[in-house]
Each structure stands twice: as C-alpha cells, then as structure tokens.
Amino acid sequence: MTQTKKPKRKIIVSNIIILGFVSLFTDIGVEMVYPILPLYLATILGASAGVIGVIEGIAESLASILKLFSGMIADKYNNKKKLAFIGYFSSFFSKIILILFASLGGVLLSRGIERFGKGIRTAPRDALVAESAEKGKLGKAYGLHKTFDLVGVSIGILLAYFLLSAENLTGFRNIFLLSLIPAFIGLMFMFFVKDGGQKVVSKKFEFKWKSLDKKLKLFLIFIFIFTLGNSSNAFILLRAYSSGFSIQDALLLYFVFNIVASVLSYPIGKLSDKVGRKYTLPAGYLLYGLVYFGIGLLSSRPAFWLLFATYGVYAALTVGGERALLADIAPPHLKSSVIGLHSAIVGIGLLPASIIAGILWDSISPAAPFVFGGILAVFASVSIFIVLNSKQKSNLMPAA
C-alpha cells in the first residue's frame, strides 16, 4: 500500500515544481521590464506621476477583474491548463507590442495585454497548485510556488540592472527585446503541466456572493479597503528615484524586496499551516502599513534599504497566505472562482488606488500616497485580525 502512494506524491510534487518553473521564467521576462517601465515612462516618454498612475491602475484592474471570470470558467469547464496557457502566451505577446510601439499608447496597450494574460492565468493556475497540494499543506504548496515566482522576479531585476548599467538609458529597448527569451521558455514549460482531475461541473454551476461564508465576506471587504491604499509598486520605485537613488540603485532596492520575499515565502507558508493564517495575514498587513509610513516619511539611504527588505517580509506573509486561506475554505469545485473573486475585488480597488496615489503625489507631495496607504493598512490589519479571530463558527480557520 505504501508503494502505491509514493508515485502519486511524486506526480503531485512534480506538478507544483513544473508550475513553479513556468512562473519563474515568465517572471524573469516580466520583471526585466516592469521595474524599469515607470522610469522609462518618466525619463524617456516624459509621463507624469498621474499618467503613470492611470496606466498602472487600468492595467492592474483589468488583470484582477478578469481573474474572477477566468476562475468561474475554469471551474465550470475544467479547462484550467488551457486558460493558464493563454494567459502565459499573452505575457509573451505583450513584449512584442512594447518593442513595436515606443509611445504612451504602446505602453498602455502592452501593459493591458500583459495584465490580461495575468488575469486569465492566475486563478486556474492557483487552483492547479491547490489540487496538487498535500492535504493540510496548502501554505507549504503556495509558499513553494511563490518561492519559484519570486526567484524569477529577482533574476529579472538583476538582469535589468546589469543590462541597463551596461547600456545606460539607451538600453531600454534592448532589455525589452531580451525579455522575450525567458517568457518563451516559461510558455514551453506549460506543456508539461498536468491538468486537474476534477469532473466537469454540471449546468447547475452557481457562484453567488450571498452563499459565501460570513467571515470570508468581511475579509474581502477589508481587503478592498486595504487595496485603496495599495498603489502600484511603480510609485515605490519613483519614490526611491525622487529621494536620490539612481535608476540602477532603485532596481537594486526592488531586488532586495523580492529576494527577501523569495527566501521567506516557503518557511512562512509552512508556519501559516501550523499557527494559522488568522495570525500571519494580519501581521503582514500591519507590516505593510509600517513600511509605507517609513517610505513616505523617511528619505535616508540606509532607511530605504531596510524598508525594502521589510517590504519583502510583508509579501512573504501575505501573498501565498491569502491564496491558501481562500483555497482552505472554498468548495472543491469552486476554488478557482473564490480565488478569482478575491482578485476581482482587489482589482476594483487598484484603479482608484493608483489614481489617488498619482493625485496625492502631484498635488500634495511624493510622501502623501504612502502615508495614506499606511493608515488604511493599519486599519485593515486590525479589522482582519478581529474578523479572523472571532469565535463565530466558520470554515475560515485552518488547523493551527
């Protein structure tokens, strides 16, 4: 009997690892472009913070809202692998658009296509991870996948740093061109991913807000409030640039954030399985608030290095933990839909969040968006802690 279980576990683990390599190579390509894009917009195309906020807000909102519809389609027709492949192909194609059209409109179109791909692939991919995870170890599974993800991000940032340092500001276009290579490799790994084993849901498939767990609904409401202060990372990079960091040094700050998150995601994911995400998630949101206050109110170089490292701890505490929490409580045939709903709610808040950040930056000061975000994050942290730790019976509580 033991011999029949080992091969199954090997297949399960390999599926998570293959999905990890898909994300790793895709994110190398994405992050060769993403952290330098706001700097490209500001220094080469002359865009203001307000314009960058609109572009980022539209792109991120599109991605997040699409995750809901993608998740529902994946649950209804059990085509998770196909949807994920379309999403990863869109990421590859967006880079071709960026190379062909060097204008504000071209950047908006490229970001829109890239985020469209993100929106299409994320919920079904996360559901594939959940279906491949061992029972009671969702935090560990998402932590492992996020480690691959963030290692790819870190490599992409380093490549952008060295390429930009070698070619100076004229190297933007060459970096965009080279980013096609890892994006294509990540796409090829998708052919080795095994699709979920669920049966197709009948035509009676339903997914309604009123049928959700009460604590889940409150959690999503406070996440929306948190998101209103969670502007695009483009503003963090611009803040570092405006505080005296060079473009290359700003990229290294972003690298520190991602490498800390990648190192800690797996152990923190395992920790959340043991102590409960009702503690790790609120701690992460609180840490985010403190980091935002620091970025807004401090300007020294040592402070920024420390703040960006701490920002990585926040990411490790929340990104995988949120997905694990949602997968914990979702009915088996609705995992993609629940994950997609969370992303859609976040997406609804991302557009006003980035627009508000741009307005606060331009009309008050570069510090204003971060103070605003810090206040909302602290409020959300306290509120979510109360909700997740209330005594009302709920499926929301994973075993500690």
Tokens 């690892």 correspond to what residue?
A: 17
Between the alpha carbon of residue 163 and those of residues 150, 159, 173, 219, 306, the distances in Å are: 20, 6, 11, 42, 25
Q: Cα 265 from chain centroid?
A: 13
Query: How far is residue 369's CA from residue 397's CA, in Å, rounded to a whole number?
Result: 33
Q: What are the start-end ranges of the H helices in 34-169?
A: 37-43, 49-77, 80-100, 104-132, 138-167
Query: How far is residue 122's CA from residue 338's CA, in Å, rounded to a whole number?
Result: 12
Query: How far is residue 191's CA from residue 187's CA, in Å, rounded to a whole number?
Result: 8
Instruction: With CA atoms as reference, report the closest residue to 113 among 212, 30, 182, 215.
Output: 30
DSSP state of 390: S
Give residues with Cβ within 8 angstroms of 328, minimum separation 6.
138, 277, 395, 396, 398
DSSP state of 193: P
What is the residue-level pLDDT of the chain in tens, covering all 400 positions? 444 444 444 444 588 899 999 999 999 998 888 878 877 887 778 777 778 777 777 776 677 677 778 888 887 778 889 999 999 999 899 999 988 887 888 888 888 888 888 888 888 888 888 888 877 788 888 888 888 988 998 899 888 888 877 665 556 788 888 999 999 999 999 999 887 555 444 445 567 777 777 888 888 899 999 999 987 777 888 898 888 888 788 888 988 998 899 899 889 988 998 999 999 999 999 999 999 999 999 989 999 999 999 999 999 999 888 988 887 777 667 777 888 888 788 877 877 888 899 899 989 999 999 999 999 999 999 999 999 888 755 544 443 3
> What single-letter amino acid sits at 330?
A
Tokens 């990540």 correspond to what residue?
A: 186
> What single-letter amino acid sits at 196?
G
245 Rama class: left (phi>0) / alpha (psi -120 to 50) / beta:
beta
Please give the class, per CATH, of domain 2-191+208-388.
mainly alpha
